[in-house]
Amino acid sequence: MRVAVLGTGTMGAPMARNLARAGHEVRAYNRTPERAAPLADERMAVCDTVAEAVGGAEAVVTMASDGPAVAGMVEPALGSFGDAVWAQMSTVGLAGLERLAALAHGAGVALVDAPVSGSKQPAEAGELIVLASGPASSSTSSTVARSGHPTPGSRAR
Ligand SMILES: NC(=O)c1ccc[n+]([C@@H]2O[C@H](COP(=O)([O-])OP(=O)(O)OC[C@H]3O[C@@H](n4cnc5c(N)ncnc54)[C@H](OP(=O)(O)O)[C@@H]3O)[C@@H](O)[C@H]2O)c1
């Protein structure tokens, strides 16, 4: 799968590494380029812009500090998402999630609210617990709980 990872800090960098090790084609972007640069030595494309990273992606992972950071990074590039599913994995809270959901809805992008439980070591080991909720059409998981009302991962977290 072609995956864009936006935000390669403490959590995003090891997540990107594990995606690449699992055979996915990863394109990474980070506001501070120096922080993403080492990923280029690990079979990942490090991009100068968000639009470049998300172009042609099937999934876009955001892993930045908070809601405003994610919104500021993603909003100008939503038009480049195409059919990509947006897996929003940063911790943004319910208010942050509402804003991001509105941005996604306005751009016709499928948003999966997918905050994680765990820290740096589980991220490196590929052992984060992901609390994902989103459109059924965006799921490839065999462990899906179906609900008649919205139960965002951010509420569960
Ligand atoms: N660390 C943990 O143990 C842990 C555990 C569970 C969940 N989380 C959540 O995971 C998310 C990422 O945490 P982290 O530990 O990876 O944080 P981090 O190491 O501080 O990295 C933050 C990332 O957000 C980017 N960023 C911050 N402000 C930005 C802005 N205005 N525009 C664009 N990019 C911006 C940073 O880019 P720069 O490099 O350019 O600053 C960096 O890529 C947070 O929501 C956090 O709450 C963390």
**pLDDT value at 18 more than 80:** yes
pLDDT of residue 138: 66
Cβ of residue 50 lying under 6 Å from some atom of ligand 1? no
Cα–Cα distance measured from residue 6 to residue 54, given in angstroms and rounded to the nearest whole number:
9
**pLDDT value at 154 more than 80:** no
Calculate what percentage of the chain has a pLDDT beyond 90: 84
Residue nearest to atom 5 of ligand 1 (CA): 119
Output the CA 141–ligand 1 centroid distance in Å. Answer: 26
Output the CA 43–ligand 1 centroid distance in Å. Answer: 22
**pLDDT value at 85 more than 50:** yes
Closest approach atom of ligand 1 to CA 72:
32
* Tokens representing residue 18 in the block: 């594990």
Cβ of residue 119 lying under 6 Å from some atom of ligand 1? yes
**pLDDT value at 137 more than 80:** no
CA angle 93, 37, 15 (to 5 degrees): 40
Mean pLDDT of the chain: 92
Task: Name residue 3's beta-bridge partners.
Answer: 26, 59
pLDDT digits (tens, 9 = 90+) for 88-101: 999 999 999 999 99
6-10, 22-26, 71-75, 142-146: which range is least confident on average? 142-146
pLDDT digits (tens, 9 = 90+) for 20-67: 999 999 999 999 999 999 999 998 999 999 999 999 999 999 999 999
Residue nearest to atom 1 of ligand 1 (CA): 119
Fold of 2-156: Rossmann fold (3.40.50)
pLDDT of residue 62: 98
CA dihedral 112, 88, 23, 121 (to 10 degrees): -130
Pocket of ligand 1, candidates 6, 8, 11, 60: which has the most ligand atoms within 8 Å of its Cβ, to mutate?
11
